[in-house]
Amino acid sequence: MHNHLQHIATSLNINSKQVNATLTLLEEGATVPFISRYRKEITGSLDEVQITAIRDLAQQLKELDKRKEAVLKSILEQGKLTPELEKKIELAETLTILEDIYLPYKQKRKTRASVAREKGLEPLALRIFAQSRIDVEAEATAYIDAEKGVKDIQDALAGARDIVAEIINEDAEARAKMRRYFEQKATYKSVVAKGKETEAIKYKDYFEWEESAKNAPSHRVLAMLRGEEEGLLKLDVLPPDEEAIQLLEKQFITGNNSASKQVELAIYDSYKRLLRPSMETELRAAIKQKADEEAIRVFAANARQLLMAAPLGQKNVMAVDPGFRTGCKVVCLDRQGNLLENTTIYPHTGQGNVKDAEWKINQLCEKHDIEAIAIGNGTAGRETETFIRGLKLADVTIVMVNESGASIYSASPLAREEFPDHDVTVRGAVSIGRRLMDPLAELVKIDPKSIGVGQYQHDVDQSKLQQSLDDTVMSCVNAVGVELNTASKQLLAYVSGLGDSLAQNIVNYRSKNGAFKNRESLKKVPRLGDNAFEQAAGFLRIRNAEQPLDSSGVHPERYQLVNKMAKDLGVSVAELIKNTELQKRINLQNYVSAEVGLPTLQDILKELAKPGRDPREQFEAFSFADGVNSIEDLKKGMKLKGIVTNITNFGAFVDIGVHQDGLVHTSQLANRFVANPNEVVKVSQVVQVTVTDVDVERKRISLSMKEDSQKDAKSESTKGNWNKNDAQKRNEQPRKSFNQQQPKKQKEADGDLQEKLAKLKGMFK
């Protein structure tokens, strides 16, 4: 990949030396978190985003190189490879350019042009394409041959035009022009499929929709594509045809004679039959890819925020998975998240059951010294929270927990392996409790696509989504650090350099030999070699270890350096860690070397100040408003606290405790223009909102975070209505058809085109 060094550097605006160093580290097996954290001097302190971009672009270029090899081999086998063509292929910077070069040499199925060539009409086609002053009908006469299937002059000319049409379609310059034109001028036009008006009601905003393909936001693109996939919408992505044909005429019409007239007809045919369908397919793929990338970016950002949510920490926790008729499943967990006891209570089915439920909760809290109660936010969640709070439990924190994905975990092989003797309800409750204690440690057990954040995550390229999510989870896990002696194999698997197999080996070794005393003993784990140790060690923590630095983010390769710092101050490493005044006396310049620069030294100093610090925010308990438990309880103008559950490009969804999230549209996020909702809110953030509109029948809740939003509720409520957000997005003009926007010019163009196409159709008869 180093042969693409300058291209990567220029594309990403990163120094070529940094790119070279990063590529070398990646080729040696280093992970993105390891490189960004422990190899800052080598890369010039590139962050994870930059390193990931280098990795991904290098992979794309590697695939391009493979395709070039295949193309060169194919053309060489045909005996058509020239030095000029070989150079052109080698200089191709994208797959699109490469495929355009290869198109004339690509093995095809039988085409109208290939049939015409079999009839011996290629010389006639080339004579016509040259557009010299010839009598085309006289020329065509010489090619009439009943045995070959050329019956008359018109038959000969039609075959010649088929060949010319294919030549035009395969011209790299023409395809590049058409591609640019489609990218700039194409519009999305969607209509409801015939007879599907009722079934497609969720897509009603797209029943007669038209907008620039270039500017269409990703969520609308994916919505229209989903509607098309479901057979509920008809969708075209095309520009005005007249201008496209004019571009082709300008390139290929070089005379004004009978041959030129034949070329003109061939251009119309080539555009209509070959170029337009090809370009639409390409454009659809390109726009879909762009929409996928944006949706994946949004999903990954939301997943990161959810994974990095504040943990309660190691507490004795009771978790409740609420329910009405089937009761509430209750579990008690110790401070390491181990299941101690489980039972079922029925606080919502009658007075006698309520008394029994009260007794059970009080008894379990006392028996297991419960410090916090986690209540799932699903069905009966608010009612169960009201019941629990009514018990007035002393010194017990009560928290509603987002249970998205808990049911996925409870039915998984992992959950069955962990709790073989318990049913899915117990496993689900355990997951709810552990999610309160440490969201990251629990959520890594669930497929990220099932944790309830993002937009259209099931419609995008799944391999790219998985890569992005793996990167995100690995980044979060390594940023927080992992307790080696208590982490699950799922959490360990995301530690830099480990993976599923080594994570399982670590758990097996731990079970057989007891807790790890120090990081060095990791090397005793089967198949965990020096490279894996180098990658993983700095991200693993051992609480109360023999070596004080084993509980920090200082990498073992820098222990000697810290020992020297402590020795120079005349203290032990343990004393240096505890004493901030001693740390202030360290002159980092004294320890700069060829291998270790200021970036690493500054990181070491931060670790000494707060060994193994958790970058996540401190946990703060939150409760919803009393008396507001369902959508029917909401009124316009109500001011409530809520928790952000999901962020999209058009706004943020907020849980206000009524079993139905409301939408704060981008226009309602602040008293200013908001281009990106992430500028204002984050997943799991507690926010103050005002109810601006409630549609009980359709379960739609519109919210605002603007100041004085109660006063403006009437005028602004439609902007916050999440069901209408696509049609009423900020700064969006009222919907018009393309003919309404440019009536005279477009109708004239359509008329001219129809006349020419009619003429072409007549020639084909």
331 in Cβ contact with 324 (< 8 Å): no
Gap between the Cα atoms of 323 and 380, Å rounded: 5
Q: What are the tens digits of pLDDT across the range 385-443?
A: 999 999 999 999 999 998 888 888 888 888 898 899 998 999 999 999 999 999 999 98
Q: What does the pLDDT read at residue 726?
A: 39
The pLDDT, as a whole number, for residue 622 is: 82
Task: Give, in degrees to the nearest 5, the angle at Cα 328 between 322 and 332.
Answer: 100
**Which tens digits make up the pLDDT trace of 107-125?**
878 999 999 999 999 999 9
Q: From residue 564, how far is each of 556, 584, 595 by CA, in Å? A: 14, 15, 16
| 8 A C-beta contact, residue 143 and residue 153 | no
| Averaged pLDDT for residues 173-200 | 92
Are 41 and 25 contacting, i.e. CB atoms less than 8 angstroms apart?
A: no
Write down the pLDDT at residue 109: 84
What average pLDDT does the structure give for the chain?
A: 88
Residue that is written with structure tokens 């402590």 in the block = 566
The candidate with the shortest Cα–Cα distance to 605, out of 592, 586, 618, is 586
Percent of the chain with pLDDT over 70: 92
- What is the average pLDDT across 367-377? 94
580 has pLDDT over 60: yes
Question: Is 689 within 8 Å of 670 (Cβ atoms)?
Answer: no
For residue 150, CA distances in Å to 109, 122, 134, 159, 458 come to: 21, 13, 20, 9, 53
- Domains of the chain (ranges; CATH) run 2-105 (1.10.10.650), 119-303 (1.10.3500.10), 317-437 (3.30.420.140), 631-716 (2.40.50.140)
Question: Which tokens in the block code for residue 507?
Answer: 């758990």
| Model pTM above 0.75 | yes
Q: Which two tokens stand for residue 435?
A: 């999610």
For strand 686-695 and strand 662-665, is the pairing parallel, antiparallel, or unpaired? unpaired
Cα 247–chain centre separation:
37
DSSP class of 145: B
- At CB < 8 A and 24+ separation, what contacts does 498-502 make? 498/532, 498/535, 498/536, 501/527, 502/527, 502/528, 502/532
% of the chain surpassing 90 pLDDT: 64
pLDDT of residue 529: 94
Q: How confident is the model over 652-676, as a mean pLDDT?
A: 89
Confidence label for 755 from pLDDT (cuts 50, 70 and 90):
low
In the predicted model, is pLDDT for residue 716 greater than 70? no
pLDDT at 732 over 70: no
Q: Where are the alpha helices (H) located in 239-340, listed in sequence order?
A: 241-252, 258-269, 276-307
Confidence of residue 621 (pLDDT cuts 50, 70, 90): confident
Helices of type H across 28-111: 32-38, 40-43, 48-77, 83-91, 95-102
Average pLDDT over residues 647-666: 88
CA distances from 393 to 49, 362, 370, 435 (A): 46, 8, 10, 22
pLDDT on residue 709: 53
Cα gap 50→478, rounded to integer Å? 17
559 contacts 548 by C-beta, under 8 angstroms: no
Q: What is the pLDDT of residue 302?
A: 87
- Look up residue 104 and give its two tokens: 């004339």
Mean pLDDT of 128-149: 92
- Greater pLDDT, 351 or 725: 351
The span from the CA of 182 to the CA of 279, in Å, is: 7
Q: What per-residue confidence (pLDDT) applies to 739? A: 37
